[in-house]
Amino acid sequence: MVDMKRSVTDLPLHYGKAPAWLFSRMKRFSAAIIEVIIIEFGPKEFIKRVADPIWFQALGCAAGFDWHSSGVTTTLCGALKEGLSMLGNSIPIGICGGKAKRALNTPSEILQYGERWSIDTAYLIEMSRLCAKIDNTAIQDGYNLYHHAFFFTKEGDWAIVQQGMNTKDRTARRYQWFSREDLDITSEPHTGITCDKKSQVLNLVARESLKTREAMVEFVRENPDNMLKVWENVVLSMPKRHYITPSDYDKGRFKKIFTTLYEANPGNFKELLQIKGVGPKTVSALSLVSELVYNAPPSFKDPARFSFTHGGKDGHPFPVDRKTYDSTIEFLLSCIEKARLGDREKLNIFKRLSSL
């Protein structure tokens, strides 16, 4: 079993794509890994491992992608998704979404699995959308999401691998989630927090931001005219160091959104985030009110390790050894085939390798 550490990983942006000869192997390799883990530990364990940033990174390296490239996220998720399709409909997991436009198709793809398995997917679709909004709105770190992959089982276990881009410093940031039993979607929800590079981040899902979240919900229950009056006073005393400036303030827009918030009457921070029209500027403004009016400052803690098996696509630390890669895939497939027939000798040998 994987012991997950809380982590978010920064990676440099690399352009281009995996060459066809490598990606075809990555798909076959991914399919074999999926099947081995499900045979040995079950579908939930595979979902849990995908959500572990260190295991995910190691798998990307084992698949032959660059350890420090942002492309490992998008390419590995693509390989896992296509590898799953090679296994047919008998595997009890779903992989939806992907990069750019594919991310927008996530809800419809989840729904398709629900129809195939005859399960209600409303909650899964809600989590897919909510987690994306949290990483784009409740955590304001300068990274805009451009990749969203949603993994889930028939039983309702789910994991998310999404990535944001900061074009200014040419880095990408990966966010990972897992539906653990003690998950509080608005407090320390990610599977880990590790990053070489940190900065000041408005982090409203930090544990320390609890009072801020409560104050924000209390404020939006005020009459919209009172909210606007309070906000105008806040603008006059806005600290220079803050994450929103007077130039961000549009009186007409804020009056409209304050009315929307009041009429929606959210009962908690999760419901507040789910209101249509509530984006980064609205959340920043409410956070500022909570600090200056309610004396409930938010956290500015940034919620923000790797191995090689077959080489890297750009030749670092060494070129991909195609012959060895093919042999690894064939070995995994033979383990799976024999295990299906009741002969676990090869699979047990493979397991013992981990103790060496």
CA dihedral 195→207→209→219, nearest 10 degrees, is 140
- 178 or 141, greater pLDDT: 178
In contact, 256 and 279? CB cutoff 8 Å:
no
Structure tokens, 109: 């793809």
**238 and 262 housed in the same domain:** yes
Given 292, 316, 333, the domain boundary residue is 292
d(CA 6, CA 3): 10
Which residue matches tokens 């990983």? 9
Q: What integer pLDDT is reported at residue 305 of this predicted model? A: 34
What single letter denotes the amino acid at residue 334? Answer: S
d(CA 4, CA 350): 22
In contact, 63 and 78? CB cutoff 8 Å:
no
Q: What integer pLDDT is reported at residue 16 of this predicted model? A: 55
Residue 107 contacts by C-beta under 8 Å, 6 or more apart in sequence? 125, 128, 129
In the chain, how many domains are there?
2
**180 and 137 housed in the same domain:** yes
In a domain, residue 2? The reply is: no
**281 and 344 housed in the same domain:** no
Residue 101 contacts by C-beta under 8 Å, 6 or more apart in sequence? none
Using DSSP's 3-state secondary structure scheme, residue 334 falls into helix
- 170 or 290, greater pLDDT: 290
**41 and 168 housed in the same domain:** yes
Q: 271-325: per-residue pLDDT in tens? A: 999 999 999 989 999 998 999 899 999 998 887 633 344 455 555 445 666 776 6
Given 273, 292, 311, the domain boundary residue is 292
pLDDT band per the 50, 70, 90 thresholds, residue 9: very low
In a domain, residue 297? The reply is: no
Q: What integer pLDDT is reported at residue 173 of this predicted model? A: 84
Using DSSP's 3-state secondary structure scheme, residue 319 falls into strand
Query: pLDDT at residue 1 above 60?
Result: no
- 341 or 32, greater pLDDT: 32
> Which residue range(s) make up the domain with 260?
207-292
**171 and 193 housed in the same domain:** yes
Whole-model pTM over 0.85? no
Query: pLDDT at residue 7 above 50?
Result: no
Which residue matches tokens 């364990």? 45
* Window from 86-95, 109-118, 190-199, 276-285 with minimum mean pLDDT: 190-199
Using DSSP's 3-state secondary structure scheme, residue 251 falls into helix
Q: What integer pLDDT is reported at residue 299 of this predicted model? A: 93
CB atoms within 10 A of CB 198: 14
Q: What integer pLDDT is reported at residue 310 of this predicted model? A: 46
The angle at the Cα of 262, spanning 257 to 267, to the nearest 5 degrees, equals 120
Distances (CA, A) of 346 to 2, 44, 46, 325, 342: 22, 24, 21, 18, 11
